Structure 1
């Protein structure tokens, strides 16, 4: 199985498991990832996702160019992949927050997957790059459109037009990642972010992510007026009352997700 997937205590963990090729993603892995994201979308018990790579060397190094079947760059570009690389880079229908646990190199499509996540925790040795131009290709699955929206323009262009690797401390300074920690602390840091998300009302989290993801192209005033389904559900929920009640009673809220 190219991807490992498990759900435990409201947390889904998705692990790209291809150590023999530094976690490169092939067609089978792409299909499995898209199936997993679709399953998570319909599972209301899942409140947060952790996406990571197997081992210590790579988060994901993108498409498996050695086993591409001889397809050209034009063929790849023409193929329908509306959700971007790994089914997550450009996905707009997943309202559950995704935390990228970056354990090593995130290159090409692997970096595009990181850009599609909401929170990023990286080991000190982790690197980020879009090296496609160095092999006559382009970051077609979200890299060119996402990076320049998430960090300053010249920093984004400097990364894409050189294909260079950005080390974790620089990625932190640019806002690509939320936290950089020693490898020995990577799991603890990831668990801390997970716990902080789980401490929040699940419907509020869904409403926030849905609003952010689906209104980024609008002005602030236009976005404010959107009546998105998750937003309306959260405002009408029992949890909306429970949160205020718990605050007044000086206790932890008992979230029901309804």
Structure 2
């Protein structure tokens, strides 16, 4: 088995970190495999949602693997560019669910924050250990943390290196649901099913619009036109939604 497993079940792509002996730290090979996964997911119209998960109860991901010394110059960035650390940012166009357990720290924490929905096992711990061990560099994780957590809680994690547990993360709105580790995979599947019950193209257009103006003032966002939304207006799914409303039935989406 590869250190990153990729599979598709129905309309759901499953990306699974499979290096529990290394606490799922991202190696150079895993970086390439992840980049390939994101590219395939973005290009395949039959993939409507993504579940990112990891093997082993102890750790979701502890970030980049630094045991091999200096990074290669051609490195796409942690997670194949999904996080944008040290390389080009690759945006996953499809809605993503992260299923998190155990240690979710450093770059692994950022990888989880790249998801749209986070489901956490009650074993999960989220943290930024960089300053505690005297390391600070291409630290995109701090910029996501300050945007996804209350200001002082984010700075607590950034400046002290402390971790917060799953129930605290839920309290602060970082995660959507906390379940037992035994129920984690099932919970992620249920969230993917919820996402796929909606029009996949409408979901993708909405995500693009939200992320495209997230860093802008509200006035700018309200005055913006979004290509993805305009394109959706001409799709078969848009027409199917209208037909289903008239006929008072559930729509049958095709992603076209």
Structure 1 length as normaliser, TM-score? Answer: 0.90
Tell me, yes or no, if the aligned pair for 2:201 and 2:232 is still in contact at 8 Å: yes
1:216 to 214, 217, 233: 214
Tell me, yes or no, if the aligned pair for 2:103 and 2:126 is still in contact at 8 Å: yes
Deviation larger for 104-113 or 238-247: 238-247
- What SS does the aligned partner of 1:128 have? strand
Q: State the Cα deviation string for residues 62-92 of structure 1 (Å, max 9, x = none).
A: 112322x2x3xxx79xx68776555322445
Q: State the Cα deviation string for residues 188-233 of structure 1 (Å, max 9, x = none).
A: 2112111110100011011011111111122222123333332112
CA offset at residue 140 of structure 1?
2.5
Match of 1:252 in 2: 250
The number of residues matched between the two structures is 251
Deviation larger for 212-221 or 53-62: 212-221
Taking structure 1 as reference, are residues 173 and 157 closer, same or farther at Cα in structure 2, changes over 3 Å only?
Answer: same
Structure 2 length as normaliser, TM-score? Answer: 0.91
> Any stretches of 5+ residues in structure 1 without a counterpart?
none
Taking structure 1 as reference, are residues 228 and 188 closer, same or farther at Cα in structure 2, changes over 3 Å only?
Answer: same
Q: CA RMSD in A?
A: 2.0
Q: State the Cα deviation string for residues 219-250 of structure 1 (Å, max 9, x = none).
A: 22212333333211212222122213212322
Q: State the Cα deviation string for residues 128-174 of structure 1 (Å, max 9, x = none).
A: 11101122212624212111011111110001111111100000011
Taking structure 1 as reference, are residues 86 and 115 closer, same or farther at Cα in structure 2, changes over 3 Å only?
Answer: farther
**Equivalent-residue separation in structure 1 for 2:124 and 2:254 (angstroms):** 37
**Equivalent-residue separation in structure 1 for 2:101 and 2:248 (angstroms):** 38
Tell me, yes or no, if the aligned pair for 2:26 and 2:78 is still in contact at 8 Å: no
2:199 to 191, 198, 201: 201
> Any stretches of 5+ residues in structure 2 without a counterpart?
none
Match of 1:116 in 2: 114
Deviation larger for 228-237 or 187-196: 228-237
- What SS does the aligned partner of 2:37 have? helix
**Equivalent-residue separation in structure 1 for 2:242 and 2:90 (angstroms):** 30
**Equivalent-residue separation in structure 1 for 2:203 and 2:109 (angstroms):** 24
CA offset at residue 106 of structure 1?
0.6
Deviation larger for 134-143 or 164-173: 134-143
